[in-house]
């Protein structure tokens, strides 16, 4: 008798795939997967067919060929006799350089502007609002071009420094020249004994770190706040200065000189780097400022009121009580801002900065006609850079999160 | 969102598949317009006038091909291309023809799979400098900052030239001629280098052209000509013989003024074949019998186009020189129409 009430476990109807909620989601996923895979397969085969029709093969052999072109800013040795691979490496280092400098400056600008936008001083707060809104709402390419136009047209050409009726002159006792080709500044030259100065410098940095930890411990124990900034500055500067003079000034400076067509010698920071660096930093800084403001507003007012009640002054309240807590809110969006800055740096060619997009994805691509290969490589490179940045920042993020005990 | 991505991918892939088709002439006819790639703006070669009509020497080649196909010099859509974007635009089928001061080189012909239809302009790379620098030879340029367009033969020649002469320079890469001109005039670079015809054209647009000189050295051969994709020989023939028709017309004394009269029939059999009063050359190309007559009457012969756009009567003032007819000591020499 009981057999009639047993559920039919053994029989399976095809319609169950569609109407039985136990199987339906599985069916949909399988169908979607098949669709996706066949789409990819079709795209790949289509590409191969088209490349064949054009008579092009797929190969990275061109990377080993002589590049034939020159690059102005080189962090490693490179000439037109080097191969395309080296050209790509030169470009990659230039990308990393501007991204690194940009992330630092953008953070400084962003934190400052974010804090100041909450200032009780009406003018300061409004100025910051204008800065943030204008940079956030105008495309970064326009800012890059605007900075470039200002620097090209607004600053003197090296020619203006020449002759008896020169219309421009160098700054800081004839050591720095700001021109529309870039900034020419003194470059350190290393003489015998410089190693000791460098070692002293590194030791000072270690000492600063150690002092910072000590000051923090002490503050936690006793509540005393030391004038940390001034002490750190002294540790940084004094020992190095003493070592420098005791050793008879082993580090000299090579000054830029007017020679031939322009300035020779010294350090040449090209206009393309300056313009790209500043434009990316101010642009990204505006976004970071908003993250910082959001982070600060997320900390309950009771925290700063409590700090005031304990007699901590407003500056220290911000840097010791509010900001450290706000960091937990600020850092995750900060990671995406760093990624944005790095990716936006690929607009470099607009001002003639030779980043990896301009070398590998620009001149190399054009001279060899290897569009597909170059673009795949570029995408891989940016993907790796981005993953590395998020990886590093995630580690830092973990360290700032609340330690749950 | 997902849907639109998939459809986007599908269309891109579909477009890519479209470029594989070979019959460019049929595509052009079906469209009713020729897609022609030109510079982003270089006076005398290709630039829009005050009313937005493109004009110039390179533009005339586009118009001549459009006239050959449609009998109408205005059946052209011009696509401004930088030196860096021109080849992908042609390879992908965005333009049917590239007429953009492009140098015929081995690797562009063989490796990039293009077909050059001839040499419309014999050129060479030169240097433009302000007179105040007091430079009189390219050998004095050691240490100069040089503005240079990326993706060109120019940047490769420049690297070779300074290397073989053991000189140094600082390249400032730029993307368009307009940008190069602005940087050069602002003193952001000492020297501007490109094909010397383009230098003459650029200099002619300066406020004070007399304050700048083109140095005497020509450091390379730059044979400039129109090009099409490999693999469509009929289309390549049409462009090649359009250019040849203009050159032959000049050689035979056929001009836009007298072509109507000569098309009535002459004693010269080559003129008759060219203008379609005799034989069926047009038909062999897949065009009408009067294709060349239409070209000459609406665009003019080679010499007329040269004189109108860049010749010594224009502000650009380029002498015929190498671009004179072979009968007059130049290199322009068209194979016979027979
Ligand atoms: N003939 C050379 C260079 C051609 C070239 O692009 N010249 C530049 C420098 S004047 C130009 O005219 N550009 C016009 C534009 O900006 O579109 C080549 O084929 O690579």
Provide the ipTM.
Answer: 0.83
Distance from CA of B156 to the nearest CA of A (A): 5
Helical (H) or strand (E) element with B125: strand B125-130
Q: pLDDT tens digits, residue range B232-270?
A: 999 999 999 999 999 999 999 999 999 999 999 899 999
pLDDT tens sequence across B211-229: 999 999 999 999 999 999 9
Closest CA to B150 of A89, A277, A87, A95: A87
Mutate to test the pocket of ligand 1, among B154, B156, B160 (most ligand atoms within 8 A of CB): B154
Contact B173 A366 (CB under 8 A): no
Q: What's the B152 CA to ligand 1 centre distance in angstroms?
A: 7
Give the Cα separation of A21 and B41 in Å (integer): 64
> Domain ranges in chain B?
17-122+224-256+293-328, 125-220
- DSSP assigned state of B326: G
Residues B184, B147 contacting (CB under 8 angstroms): yes
Return the bridge partners of B174, or none.
B149
Taking the centre of ligand 1 as the mean of its atom positions, its distance from the CA of residue B113, in whole angstroms, is 20
Nearest by CB to residue A152, choosing from B13, B107, B183, is B183
d(CA B60, CA B46): 9
Q: What is the pTM of this model?
A: 0.84
**CA dist., res. B250 & res. A273, Å (int):** 52
Residue B7 has pLDDT above 80, yes or no: no
Residues in contact with B225: Cβ distance below 8 Å, sequence separation at least 6, in sequence order: B102, B104, B116, B117, B118, B119, B120, B121, B243
Cβ neighbors of A113 (< 8 A, separation 6 or more) are A128, A131, A132, A285, A286, A289, A292
Contact A114, A291 (CB under 8 A): yes
Mutate to test the pocket of ligand 1, among B152, B157, B218 (most ligand atoms within 8 A of CB): B152
CA–CA distance, B220 with A180 (Å, rounded to integer): 30
| SS3 letters across chain A | CHHHHCCCCCCCCCCHHHHCHHHHHHHHHHHHHHHHHHHHHHHHHHHHHHHHHCCCCCCCHHHHCECCCCCCCCCCCCCCCCEHHHHHHHHHHHHHHHHHHHHHHHHHHHHHHHHHHCCCCHHHHHHHHHHHHHHHCCCHHHHHHHHHHHHHHHCCCHHHHCCCCCCCCCECCCCEEEECCEEEECEEEECCCHHHHHHHHHHHHHHHHHHHHHHHHHHHHHCCCCCHHHHHHHHHHHHHHHHHHHCCCCEEEECCEEECCEEECCEEEEHHHHHHHHHHHHHHHHHHHHHHHHHHHHCCHHHHHHHHHCCCCHHHHHHHHHHHHHHHHHHHHHHHHHHHHHHHHHHHHHHCCCCHHHHHHHHHHHHHCCHHHHHHHHHHHHHHHHHHHHHHHHHHHHHHCCCCC
Determine what percent of chain A is predicted with pLDDT higher than 90: 50
Dump pLDDT digits (tens) for B287-321.
999 999 999 999 999 999 999 999 999 999 999 99
Please, what's the b/e burial string for B98-119 (b: 16 or more CB within 10 A of its CB; e: otherwise)? bbbbbbbbeebeebbbbbbbbb
Whole-number pLDDT of residue A8? 54
Residue of chain B minimizing CA distance to A355: B173
Scan residues 337-356 of A and list those with Cβ closer than 8 Å to B: 349-350, 352, 354
The fold of the B125-220 domain, in CATH, is D-Maltodextrin-Binding Protein; domain 2 (3.40.190)
The reported pLDDT for the residue numbered B240 is 97
Q: What is d(CA B36, CA B102) in angstroms, rounded to the nearest whole number?
A: 13
Contacts of A369 in chain B (CB under 8 A): 87, 91, 107, 111-112
| Section B20-32 average pLDDT | 84
Per-residue model confidence as pLDDT tens digits over B97-124? 999 999 999 999 998 889 999 999 999 9
The residue written with tokens 């200032």 in the block is: A119
* Torsion, Cα of B57, B113, B126, B306 (10° steps): -20
A70 contacts B156? CB cut-off 8 A: no
Between the CA of B15 and the centroid of ligand 1 the distance, in Å, is 28
C-alpha to C-alpha distance for B248 and B301, rounded to whole angstroms: 8
Show the tokens assigned to A403: 């330690």
Shortest CA distance to A337 belongs to which of A348, A328, A345, A349? A345
CATH 1.10.10.10 fits A84-154+271-400, yes or no: no
Residues of chain A under the 50 pLDDT cut = 1-2
Tell how strand A182-185 and strand A267-270 pair up. antiparallel
Out of 2.60.40.420, 3.40.50.1110, 3.40.190.10, 3.40.225.10, select the CATH number for domain B17-122+224-256+293-328: 3.40.190.10
Q: Which residues of B9-20 are buried (b: 16+ CB within 10 A; e: fewer)?
A: eeeebeebeeee
How far is B223 from B195, CA to CA, in rounded Å? 10
């Amino acid at each position: 008798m009981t057999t009639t009430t047993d559920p039919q476990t053994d029989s399976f109807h095809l319609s169950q795939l569609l109407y039985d909620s136990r199987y339906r989601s599985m069916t949909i996923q399988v169908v979607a997967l098949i669709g996706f895979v066949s789409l990819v397969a079709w795209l790949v085969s289509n590409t191969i067919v088209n490349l064949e029709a054009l008579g092009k093969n797929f190969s990275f052999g061109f990377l080993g060929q002589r590049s034939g072109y020159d690059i102005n800013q080189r962090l490693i040795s490179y000439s037109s006799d080097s191969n395309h691979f080296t050209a790509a490496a030169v470009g990659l280092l230039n990308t990393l350089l501007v991204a690194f400098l940009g992330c630092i400056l953008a953070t400084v600008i962003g934190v400052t502007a974010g804090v100041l936008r909450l200032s009780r001083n009406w003018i300061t707060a409004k100025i910051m609002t204008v800065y943030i809104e204008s940079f956030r709402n105008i495309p970064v390419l326009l800012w890059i071009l605007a900075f470039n136009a200002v620097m090209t047209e607004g600053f003197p050409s090296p020619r203006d420094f020449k002759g008896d009726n020169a219309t421009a002159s160098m700054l800081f006792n004839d050591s720095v020249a700001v021109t529309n080709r870039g900034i020419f500044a003194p470059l350190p030259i290393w003489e015998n004994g410089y190693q000791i100065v460098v070692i002293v410098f590194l030791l000072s940095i270690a000492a600063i770190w150690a002092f910072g930890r000590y000051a923090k411990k002490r503050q936690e124990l006793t509540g005393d706040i030391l004038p940390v900034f001034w002490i750190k500055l002294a540790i940084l500067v004094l020992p190095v200065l003493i070592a420098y003079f005791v050793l008879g000034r082993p580090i000299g400076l090579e000054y830029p000189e007017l020679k031939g067509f322009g300035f020779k010698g010294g350090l040449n920071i090209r206009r393309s780097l300056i313009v790209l660096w500043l434009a990316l930093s101010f642009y990204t800084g505006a976004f970071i400022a908003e993250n910082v403001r959001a982070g600060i507003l997320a900390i309950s007012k009771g925290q700063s009121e409590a700090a005031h009640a304990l007699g901590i002054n407003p500056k220290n309240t911000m840097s010791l009580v509010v900001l450290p807590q706000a960091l937990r809110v600020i850092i995750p969006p900060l990671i995406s801002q760093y990624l944005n800055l790095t990716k936006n740096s690929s607009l470099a060619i607009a001002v003639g900065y030779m980043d990896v997009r301009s070398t590998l994805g620009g001149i190399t691509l054009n001279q060899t006609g290897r569009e597909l290969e170059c673009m795949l490589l570029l995408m891989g490179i940016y993907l790796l850079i981005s993953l590395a940045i998020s990886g590093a920042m995630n580690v830092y993020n973990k360290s700032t999160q609340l330690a749950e005990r | 969102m997902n849907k639109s991505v998939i459809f986007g991918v599908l269309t891109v892939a579909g477009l890519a598949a479209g470029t594989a088709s070979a019959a460019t002439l049929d595509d052009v006819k079906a469209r009713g317009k020729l897609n022609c790639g030109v510079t982003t703006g270089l006076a005398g070669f290709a630039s829009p006038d005050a009313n937005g009509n493109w004009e110039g020497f390179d533009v005339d080649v586009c118009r001549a091909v459009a006239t050959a196909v449609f009998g109408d010099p205005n059946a052209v859509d011009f696509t401004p291309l930088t030196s860096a974007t021109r080849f992908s635009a042609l390879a992908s089928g965005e333009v049917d023809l590239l007429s953009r001061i492009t140098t015929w080189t081995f690797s562009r012909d063989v490796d990039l799979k293009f077909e050059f239809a001839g040499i419309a302009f014999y050129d060479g790379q030169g240097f433009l400098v302000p007179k105040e620098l007091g430079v009189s030879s390219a050998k004095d340029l050691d240490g100069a900052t040089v503005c240079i367009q990326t993706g060109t033969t120019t940047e490769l020649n420049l690297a070779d030239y300074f290397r073989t002469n053991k000189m140094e320079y600082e390249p400032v890469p730029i993307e368009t001629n307009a940008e190069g001109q602005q940087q050069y005039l602002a003193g952001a670079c000492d020297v501007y280098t490109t094909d010397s015809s383009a230098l003459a054209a650029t200099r002619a647009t300066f406020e004070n052209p007399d304050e700048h000189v083109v140095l005497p050295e020509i450091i390379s051969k730059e044979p400039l000509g129109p090009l099409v994709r490999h693999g469509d020989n009929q289309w390549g023939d049409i462009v090649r013989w359009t250019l040849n028709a203009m050159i032959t017309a000049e050689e035979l004394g056929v001009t836009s003024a007298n072509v109507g009269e000569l098309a009535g029939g002459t004693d010269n059999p080559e003129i008759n074949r060219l203008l379609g009063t005799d034989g069926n050359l047009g038909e062999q190309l897949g065009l009408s019998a009067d294709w060349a007559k239409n070209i000459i009457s609406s665009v003019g012969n080679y010499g007329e186009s040269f004189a109108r756009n860049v010749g010594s009567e224009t502000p650009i003032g380029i002498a015929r020189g190498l671009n004179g007819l072979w009968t007059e000591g130049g290199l322009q020499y068209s194979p016979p129409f027979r």
